[in-house]
Structure 1
Amino acid sequence: MKIGLGLPIDDPALLLTWARRADAGPFSTLGLLDRLVYGNPEPLVTLAALAGATSRVRVQTEVLIAPVHGTALLAKQTATLDRLSGGRFTLGIGVGGRADDCLAAGIDIRRRGRRLDEQMATLRRLWAGEPYSEEVGTIGPCPVTPGGPEVLFGGFAPAALERVGRFGDGFLGAALPPAHMDGLFRDVEAVWRRHGRPGRPRLVAQASVALGPEDTADRARRALGDYYAFTGRAEYMTKGLLTTAREIRAAVDAFHGIGADEVVLYCWAPDADQVDRLAGALF
């Protein structure tokens, strides 16, 4: 099973160090979250820089809040990143749930699901080289990956799982332990079969980790709590932070047991030595 790293967001200048260390090691993917009204680095810009600093590891949004992005520009940005990375880009995508992001982007939060459905239909057409409309031509460049970059949908609602069957290549599950993720994975597989898709969906799980000195764990808890404060469940999320090699190995084994193809270990503290600690603990 593949193991990726979710990148910390509070010090963007360190991310090239994270990327180069991960690329030299055993990790499969570098993931980066998306927010608009927050202090995180913009993910597509950042992942383009990281793709240029690496040669092997994949780069992935976890997840890009597509409704706050313009569709035509998003098609161009993602196709460009797919080409720049040599096909190493995965578009993790979702609707988001923060009212302030939608207000800043000028979109109706109540329509974000319908907007994402419309966006996905347009993205698939544009990635295939079709015109934007009868009045507007094609929007290049063509992605190097046939049909466009790999798309993983994140979310918990039935509509999110349905999108995997309609538009996606797989599912990205975050913020749930393996026992609860098991049911979501099985639901995704059922949706996949119902849509008559060949093969099986790719299933990716995410776990929050901090491996190192106590100040690394403390900084991760603060960052995790701040990010999830809007949900009212920040304390629950920080309690789920895995801070020992034994806990992390057990979670990875459990996700493997429920059929995960990859586990992305989201590192909420900027201590880049975690790359080597996690490699030593898991490989």
Structure 2
Amino acid sequence: MKIGLGLPIDDPALLLTWAQRADAGPFSTLGLLDRLVFDNPEPLVTLAALVGATSRIRLQTEVLIAPVHDTAMLAKQTATLDRLSGGRFTLGIGVGGREDDCLAAGIDIRHRGRRLDEQMPLLRRTWRGEPYGEGVGPIGPAPTTPGGPEVLFGGFAPAAIERVGRFGDGFLGAGLPLQAMSGLFRDVEAVWEKHDRPGRPRLVAQANVALGPESTVEQAGRNIRDYYEFTGRADYMANGLLTTPETIRQAVDGYVGIGADEVMLYCWSPDIEQIDRLADALF
């Protein structure tokens, strides 16, 4: 059973310690979210630092809002991160949904899906070592992983599911109840078959957790509300936090039962003792 941890974003200076302790434990992956107009650390820069603080655990964006990033630079940054990590990097990727992120990046929010569809062939071509475009040669360095880092698409819309079949290695479903997640997993598998992809897609489920004293749970609730305020569903997301060993174990077992290859437990409080609490509860 693979279980990863989503990193809190309150204090970037704590993340090296979080990464080192998680790397010494049983967890499989560390994930870090992305937003532009928000008080979060930039994920690719941060994960590059965490690469040097770890030796075993995988590192992934969860998810990177690709349309707000310059495509050529994104290709170079992700290849570099894959190279520095020895192939331990997973690019979780999506379109985002905040208009202010798009405004700050100078893109039209209505075209962000189209932009991602244009970015993916360029990323794949660059990672293969081919010329970036007409009049532009290859952009290095070559990633350690042949063909580039693993790509997981996050999202809920049919277009996001379709991208898994067209461009991805798998799917990352975030914060959904078991039945809804199962439906998305089956949709991903169907799209995978439609595009005649070999093997099977990797399926990852994310659950939001806060395990510890009341202060830890309360802080996690505040943080998740701040993050999801723009959706109008902040209270719903906060009320969905899993806060006991029993509910966390049930969620993990349920997601594994519907086919999840890995479950990411996103920690919304910076309380680092959650790492040991979660390890004790699950392993």
Same fold flag (TM > 0.5): yes
Aligned to 2:21: 21
Instruction: Render the CA deviation track for 1:50-103: whole Å, top value 9, x for unaligned.
Output: 011000000000000000000000000000000000000000000000000000
CA distance in structure 1 between the partners assigned to 2:190 and 2:130 by the alignment: 31
Cα shift at 1:7: 0.2
Name the amino acid aligned to 2:70.
G
Aligned to 2:155: 155
Segments of 5+ residues of structure 1 without an aligned counterpart are: none
Secondary structure at the aligned position of 2:207 is classed as strand
CA distance in structure 1 between the partners assigned to 2:133 and 2:148 by the alignment: 18
Aligned to 1:203: 203
Cα shift at 1:134: 2.0
Secondary structure at the aligned position of 1:153 is classed as strand
State TM-score, norm by structure 1.
Answer: 0.99
Aligned to 1:135: 135
Secondary structure at the aligned position of 1:62 is classed as strand
Matched, 1:4 2:4: yes
Aligned to 2:261: 261
Instruction: Render the CA deviation track for 1:228-278: whole Å, top value 9, x for unaligned.
Output: 010001111011000000010000000011000000000000000100000
Secondary structure at the aligned position of 1:73 is classed as helix
Residue correspondence of structure 1 range 1-283 to structure 2 within 5 A: 1-283=1-283
CA distance in structure 1 between the partners assigned to 2:229 and 2:101 by the alignment: 15
Instruction: Render the CA deviation track for 1:123-148: whole Å, top value 9, x for unaligned.
Output: 00000000011211110001010000
Name the amino acid aligned to 2:150.
E
Secondary structure at the aligned position of 1:131 is classed as coil
Secondary structure at the aligned position of 1:228 is classed as helix
User: How many residues get paired?
Assistant: 283
CA distance in structure 1 between the partners assigned to 2:259 and 2:133 by the alignment: 40
Name the amino acid aligned to 1:69.
H
Secondary structure at the aligned position of 1:63 is classed as strand
Secondary structure at the aligned position of 2:251 is classed as helix
Instruction: Render the CA deviation track for 1:163-222: whole Å, top value 9, x for unaligned.
Output: 000000000000201121000000000000000001100000000000011000000000
CA distance in structure 1 between the partners assigned to 2:49 and 2:178 by the alignment: 33
Segments of 5+ residues of structure 2 without an aligned counterpart are: none
Name the amino acid aligned to 1:261.
D
State TM-score, norm by structure 2.
Answer: 0.99
Name the amino acid aligned to 2:135.
E
Identity across aligned pairs (percent)?
A: 81
CA distance in structure 1 between the partners assigned to 2:61 and 2:172 by the alignment: 10
CA distance in structure 2 between the partners assigned to 1:51 and 1:264 by the alignment: 19
Segments ≥4 residues shifted beyond 4 Å: none
